[in-house]
């Protein structure tokens, strides 16, 4: 079947099988291989992309049901491409990656977290990121990278610097 996907601000028209996942369509149809297939069952998070700004496991989404919604992949995060997004810069600076296979998914989950909650607590980071597995053990440095972006971001007005719960 012919579908249209809105990926990183461009519309791609593709022929896919009805059973094709969004991940398959991105990797084999659009040619964006930043999102990985690690488990194909929504367990590892390497396939994370943003749909309507929310992180999803693209291995569990059907391509044909992902039309007419904005999809963001790791390839679209640096905009313009030669200028890294602050969270990408923070990952490099904190060495928040080793083999790098889970990194695109980690960065997209972190991006969604920080858009929703620019100053997350440590517990909020752990909770929001717990669906993105890493076998190399980069978790402490990923947290450090997210905290570095948090510190660098301007404090939203009208919100207390430290919430009462902290």
Partner 1 sequence: MKRFVTTTVEVEGREETTVVEVPAFEPAPWGPDAALETVGERAPRLDGVEKVTGRARYTHDVRLPGMLHARVIRATVAAGRVTRLDLSRARALPGVRATLTGEDLPRIYWLGDEPLFGSAIHYWGQPIAALAADSDAVARDAVRLARVTYRSEPFRVRLPTGTESIRSGHFGVTPPETRREERGDVAAALRQADVTVTATYRVPVALHQALETHGSVVSWEGDRVTVYDSTQGIFRVRRELAEHLGIGQHQIRVISEYMGGGFGAKSSCGAYTVAAALLSKATGRPVRCVWDRHEECVDAGHRPETEFRVTAAARRDGTLVALDVEAWVAMGVVGWAGGPGKIFQEQYRCPNVRVAQHFWYGNVGGMEAFRGPFHVEGAFALESAIDLLASKLELDPLEVRRRNHATQDPAKARPYTTELLSECWDDVAKRIGWGAARKKKKKTGRFVRGLGMASQVWGAAGGPPAYALVRLNRDGTALVQTGTQDLGTGARTIFAQIAAAVLGLPLEDVRIVIGDTDAGPYTNTSWGSMTTPSVGPAVRMAAEDAKRQLFEIAAELLHSSPEQLKASRGRISVCGGEPSIAIRKITAQLGDIMIIGRGQRGPNPEGVTMRSFGAQAAEVEVDRLTGRVRVLRIVAAHDCGRVINPELAESQLHGGIILGLGYALFERRESDAKLGRPLNLGLHEYKIPTHADIPEIDARIISVADPAANHVGAKGLAEPPIIPTAPAIANAVFDALGVQVAELPLTPARVLEAIKTGSLDTH
Stretch that binds partner 1, among 61-69, 112-120, 123-131, 151-159 (CB under 8 A): 123-131
Other beta carbons within 10 angstroms of residue 18's beta carbon come to 10
Stretch that binds partner 1, among 34-42, 111-119, 147-155, 157-165 (CB under 8 A): 34-42
Q: Can you tell me the distance from the alpha carbon of 112 to that of 104, in angstroms, rounded to the nearest whole number?
A: 12
Q: Which of residues 42-71 bind partner 1 (CB under 8 A)?
A: 43-44, 46
Q: Can you tell me the distance from the alpha carbon of 54 to that of 29, in angstroms, rounded to the nearest whole number?
A: 22
Is residue 116 a contact residue for partner 1 (CB under 8 A)? no
Provide the 8-state DSSP code for 39.
S
Assess contact for 36 and 21: CB atoms under 8 A: no
Question: Of residues 141, 148, 149, 150, which one binds partner 1 by CB under 8 A?
Answer: 141
Which spans of this chain sit near partner 1 (rule: CB under 8 A)?
Answer: 17, 19-20, 27-28, 31-41, 43-44, 46, 73-75, 77-78, 81, 84, 88, 91-93, 95, 97-104, 107, 125-127, 129-143
């Amino acid at each position: 079947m012919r579908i249209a996907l809105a990926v990183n601000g461009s519309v791609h028209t593709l022929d896919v099988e009805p059973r094709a996942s969004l991940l398959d369509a991105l990797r084999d149809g659009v040619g964006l291989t930043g999102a990985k297939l690690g488990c194909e069952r929504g367990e590892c998070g390497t396939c994370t992309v943003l749909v309507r700004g929310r992180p999803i496991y693209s291995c569990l989404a059907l391509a044909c049901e992902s039309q007419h919604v904005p999809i963001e992949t790791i390839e679209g995060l640096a905009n313009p491409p030669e200028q890294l997004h602050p969270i990408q810069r923070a990952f490099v600076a904190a060495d928040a990656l080793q083999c790098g296979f889970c990194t695109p998914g980690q960065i997209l989950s972190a991006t969604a977290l920080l858009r929703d909650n620019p100053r997350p607590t440590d517990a909020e980071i752990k909770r929001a990121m717990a669906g993105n597995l890493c076998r190399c053990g980069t978790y402490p440095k990923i947290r450090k990278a997210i905290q570095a972006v948090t510190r660098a971001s301007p404090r939203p007005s009208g919100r207390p610097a430290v919430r009462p719960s902290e």
